[in-house]
Every structure is written in structure tokens, then in C-alpha cells.
Amino acid sequence: MNKSTLKRMWPLYLTIFMLWLKTYIVYKTSFDIKIESWKQEFILFMNPLSFLLFLLGITLLVKEKYRTRLLFVFSFITSFILFGNVVFYRFFNDFLTIPVLFQTSNMGDLGNSITELITFPDLLIFIDLFILWAALKVAKSKSIETMAGLIQRKEKKAYLLVAIIISVVNLGLAETERPQLLTRTFDREILVKNIGTYNYHIYDAILQSKSSAQRAWANGSEFVEIENYLKANLRQPNDELFGIAKDKNIIVISMESTQSFVIGETIDGQEITPFLNDLIEDSFYFENFYHQTGQGKTSDAEFLLDNSLYPLGRGAVFFTHGTNEYTATPEIVKEHGYTSAVLHANNKSFWNRDIMYDSLGYDRFFEIGDYNVTEENSIGWGLKDKEFFDQSVEHLKTLQEPYYTKLITLTNHFPFELGEEDKMVNEYTSNSRTLNRYFPTVRYTDEAIKHFVQRLKDEGMYEDSIIVIYGDHYGISENHNKAMAQFLGKEEITPVDSVELQRVPLIVHIPGQEGKTISTVSGQIDLKPTLLHLMGIDSRNDVHFGTDIFSKGKIPFTVLRDGSFITDQYIYTDNQCFDKTSGEVVEGSICEPYLDKAKRELDYSDKIVYGDLLRFYDGNNYRGEQGVQ
């Protein structure tokens, strides 16, 4: 490439350089990408360039007068993609996917959550656009050549060759660093670390096209292998508790963003969850119960609860597959005389609930239109939990008994806003405003549940009800690890700590039944078979990956949506096997058998959802007379 051409193409090279440098700076300052060697650092530094050379090289193919305009367009698009990932990552500790971008109907309800996540420095992501504009202005005033003029074919070929070489080197290094890289679709951090944010989004688009085609090409034969696996993993339910809730009302409370680390803890000598602490004494409490949600958060928790299928690794099932065929709990209990309902004081379209609840078989959805919502009784995301529970009692009275109901709270939702009049514990003092404000909202929800249980007693509804309370997903992400370590009295949050912080409360309260703390490793995937067995419903002919938590034959194993898993002795995360007690790294072969099980379950569940395989399911024949093991 001759000197005059290089001189005229300086806007292209300046734009590439600025976007490249900016992306790397964002990697290091806004994303928690773990680097373990100089090679990984080099790959991370190099990977934006492989994409930018191809994208911005397109400007060489258009007419001279459009080249600089196109540079601005491409620069803005890549900057906006980077900006979107920064804001999304700040709370979800994850990267955007195409299914998440399709969830635009949620955006209107996010309100303060988005404004809390955006900071002024984020806008500096777009500063290179102004630098390019200023440089072109100066060049014009001094008659410096820009992108105008003819660029020879051999020069374009040379540019293309350089782009191809850098891309091949990038992918080759990435593949040697992480074999079978492109099969690890559930681990977005590994993908971004090795192929870059922009290439990752292209790959994500390919995955989206592939998943959209899966349903069209699916057939019932794909279910055979999954069926055999589910048969082999059936476990006998607990005989003593099977049917103990028969013909009782089932009231499930989904506690927004509540993690187990608050249970039994105090702030300035005041209990954070005094009512739940007392309730646990008279209930079955599962201290090693984990949330297994992905990008769908609360909706994923609902999906796990009602289906005992894993949520998707990308997007929310409620959005992407809301019209699939399911064998959900509401549909099953209806055959046993139960009415089913969801109570949630939010817009019915949020998370596509109005569509999804029909697919799951719910009889009734009490949404925001069924509640008296005013400025006085609302905060943050909407109706305060105390008001919500108070009004929900009146709705429960209208349901035909027995009923299976799900109540979804709102107040303990990021950004954890609460009026001074409702604060019953002090805010924490740390460098994390999010963690500081978390404890008063948790305390408020605890008080609201106490008020609700008392209302049930006052109305004569308590004795005939089984109350199940569980946390839906984490409230404090890994972005607040420094403050979390301070609260927990640790020097730092280790990978093992990060997994253990995914524990959420599960309380099963059966009036008249003695309380007991159970240490069995379990997760939200286990809720469906557990509740069905308590109701005396045989789930052998049902499709589910979970196990009755009370079962004496339950395998102590829970897999998280990111591929991490927990057993009674080990934790696998960040591609390493850890001793659960010491936190030390152990030989990887110890976790190998469980790793295969974790991958298989996630893959099988994905196949069911993507292929809508339950439309081929015949409940009368499924598993036949095989019995349980």
C-alpha cells in the first residue's frame, strides 16, 4: 500500500485505532473478565481488531463521498453496542443477547433501574465520535486529504489479507487456549474473552437463527434419549410426607431478589429477617437451596417452579417460547381439582406473562388492573409488598378451593428504594450504594410476609394452607464483591463464595408440622416434583429434571444456568473443581462425572424448549410401567 493511499486513509485507521483502544479499556474497567495468563491478555487485547478491520473496511467498497459518513455510522453502532453491554453488565454481570434485546416491552417498566445503572463516564464511550469529527474539521480547514480518491484493488486486497490474517490468528490462539470454544454457548464471558464483544454478538445472531429453526425441524424421535435419561434419574418420593398437603391450599411466595446470606444476620444489632427466622423454626428450611435462573431472572424462577425445566442460557423462555406446549404444575393440579392463579401487581405484559400463563395452564392472573395502586402505596417498581399482600388476601377469598397460587413480591427490587417511614433497619455502610440499600428493603418484605401470614390466620385461611416461600434470584451481583466481602467479614469473595452466594431461601411451612433444617443440595428445578408429591400427586408420568427434595434417594447435586454445579462435597465453577469446605482447587477428574451430568441436563432441557418437544409428549405412555428407582 503506497504512502499516498495511507495518507488519504488516515480517518479509517484513526477510527479503527480509537474503537480498538476504547473497547480494550472498557474490557478492563467495566467487565470483570478473569485473565490467567499473558496469552489470555494478548487475546483479549487483540480480539476487537479482528472485527473492526472487517466492519470498517466496508467503507473502502463504497463511493468516496460516502466513506466518512459510513465511518461515523459504524463507529456509532459499535459504540452503542459497547454502551449497552456496559449498562447491562453493571447489574446482571452478563452480556447482552439477541433474545434480551427483543424484550423491549419490558423497557417501559424498568424506569429507575436503568437510570441507576447509567453513569456519566459511560457517555465517554462515544467520545471518539467527537474526536473523529474534530479531526476531519481540522483536516478540511488545512486541506489535508481524507478518504476521497481512488483506492486501488491491490490495496484493498492487501487490507483484506491483513484483516484475514489477524482474524485467523485470533481464532487460532483462542482455540488453543479454550478448545471447543464455540460449543460453550452458555459461557458468554469465555466467548467475549476469546473472540471479542462484537464477534460474540455475530455468533449470538447465528445461534438465534439456529434456535429458531430447531422447532421447525424437530420431531418426536428426539425425545427418546431424553426420556431414557429421565427414567434413569427418577427417585422415590418421601413416603412420610407424600400427600401431606392433599386438598390443602398451596400458597407460593416468590421473594424478589432475596438471597440466603440475609437469613439470621443483623444490621447494627437488628435482625434483617426476624419473621422468617422465627418461621424457619416451625418449618422445613432448606439451607443449601440455589436459584438457577439466567437472563430471565424472576420469569426464569417461575419457569423452573412450574416446569422443572432449566431456563435458557440466552434470553427468557417467557419471551422466546411463550406459546410452547408445557406440562406445567397448574395444568397438572387442575386434573386433581385445584384452581390455579398468579397474583402480581405489575403490568400483565411484563415478561410476556399474559401469554405464558395461558400456556402454563393458569386459571386466573390477578395483575395491576386488579389492585388499587396509588402514589401513596407504591415505591420503586410499584405497589408496596404490605399493600400487595393485604389486597391479595381479598383475591384469594374469591378462588374456589383448593387452590395453587403464586404471589410475586416487588419492593425488594433493584434499585432497592424505600421511604424513610418504612425502614426498620439502617442502611449498611460500604462503597456499594446498592448493597447498602438492600437490607432495609429485605427487612420490609420480611415484615410484609409476617403481616400476610397474620391476615391468613385472622381470616381463617391459615390452617388449610401450605405456605412455600422462596427467593427468586440474586439481588447483589458480583460487581459488588468488595462490599459483600466487607459485610461477610472476608478478605475477598472467592469463586466458591460467589457460587454459595447464589443460595436463596426455601421455606415450606405446613401448619401443625414440626420444623426441620435440611442440608440437602437442591435448587429451583426441584420445586415442582416436591410440591406435587406433597399434594399427593404421582409425578412419574411427568416431564421434569428435578427431584422431590424430601426424597431419601435424592442425589446431592444442583447445576446453575452458567454450567457451574454444586454437590455435597464439591463446587465446579470457572472451569475448576473446588473442595466445598476448604475452598481449595482439587483434581478436575473428581468433578468430571458431575460435569457430564450438568452439561447433559442443560442440553436436554434446551432441546425440549427450542424444539417445543412436549407437543409430541404422550402422558399416558411416557415412562409406561417402568416405575421409579
Secondary structure (3-state) at 252 = strand
- Residues with Cβ < 8 Å from 449, sequence gap 6 or more? 253, 255, 275, 276, 385, 389, 469
C-beta of residue 285 within 8 angstroms of C-beta of residue 506? yes
Amino acid code (one letter) for 357: Y
In sign, the C-alpha dihedral spanning 373, 377, 383, 388 is negative
Secondary structure (3-state) at 576 = strand
Closest CA to 412 of 500, 506, 503, 476: 476
Exactly one of 68, 146, 298, 409 is catalytic; which is it?
Answer: 298
DSSP strands (E only) in 480-527: 506-509, 516-518, 522-523
Closest CA to 388 of 297, 299, 451: 451
Secondary structure (3-state) at 507 = strand
Q: In what order do the strands lie in the sheet with 465-471?
A: 364-366, 339-343, 403-408, 249-255, 465-471, 506-509, 284-286, 516-518
Closest CA to 509 of 308, 179, 244: 244
- β-bridge pairing 249-255 and 465-471: parallel
Residue showing cell 440474586 = 474
CA dihedral 152, 153, 156, 157 (to 10 degrees): -140
In sign, the C-alpha dihedral spanning 312, 314, 319, 322 is negative
3-state secondary structure 319-338: HHCCCCCCCCHHHHHHCCCC
Closest CA to 299 of 281, 321, 279, 266: 321
C-alpha cell at 440: 432495609
The answer to whether 5 is a known catalytic residue is no
Residue showing cell 433444617 = 517
> Which residues form the catalytic set?
298
